[in-house]
Amino acid sequence: MIRLLWLSSRRSDPEESFPPLSGKRPAPEPIAFADATPDLLARRLADLIMVDGRDRPEEAAGVIRKLRGESEAPFVVVLNDDSLTAFDWSCGASDFLTDRCTVAELDTRLRRVVTPAQAESSDVIKRGEISINRERFEVRVRGETLDLTFKEFELIAYLAQRPGRVCSRSALLSEVWGYDFFGGTRTVDVHVRRLRAKLGHEAHMIETVRNVGYRFAG
């Protein structure tokens, strides 16, 4: 069983606050944002840390940013529709759930975050019918080489290395284009649209996460 730790703006019962958690029994007890310290996290030995950002998304992002280097456990943030756009996706959250999620979705997402796909030991990433050769800067779909620009290649490689992980537009800009890039997030959308056109029948592998960004199908 995954050992969960629940952080929220106040010490509320996780199973009452977020019904899909019913029966999961996050242990040993919830922690309020104000009380969340590296020492406290170290004593809890959690496999995964869930952060309730529905009421205070800015504060939730700040807590993740403060603690992400103090624990090997991934952070999963819980949001609602109103807090999706207010949340700072550059804070280091590994994934998110909405308060409308089902128990099955919760179980699947948590397992995938705790036991992510192993990174390839070679320079080749294979995702379904897509093969990405990082050494040759080459992408093939069903054996056919795609004609990609350098940034298109960097973008698909970045996403494919993180299957199932949500990548915000701002995170993609900073990681793929660099902090000195002055363009807006529309740049990401344009490149994704071009990539999908070139991927053809495999375009569905790049999934849109509404109001947030993109992820590569896990």
The reported pLDDT for the residue numbered 57 is: 94
Q: What is the pLDDT of residue 175?
A: 84
**What are the tokens at 80?**
């609602």
Residue 3: its H or E element: none
Predicted confidence band of residue 160 (pLDDT cuts 50, 70, 90) = very high
Q: How far apart are CA 90 and CA 171, in angstroms?
A: 6
Topology (CATH level 3) of domain 124-216:
Arc Repressor Mutant, subunit A (1.10.10)
* Positions of CATH 1.10.10.10 in the chain: 124-216
CATH superfamily of 4-114: Response regulator (3.40.50.2300)
For the chain, give every residue range classified as CATH 3.40.50.2300: 4-114
What are the residues whose beta carbons fall under 8 Å from the beta carbon of 177, sequence distance 6 or more? 151, 183, 187
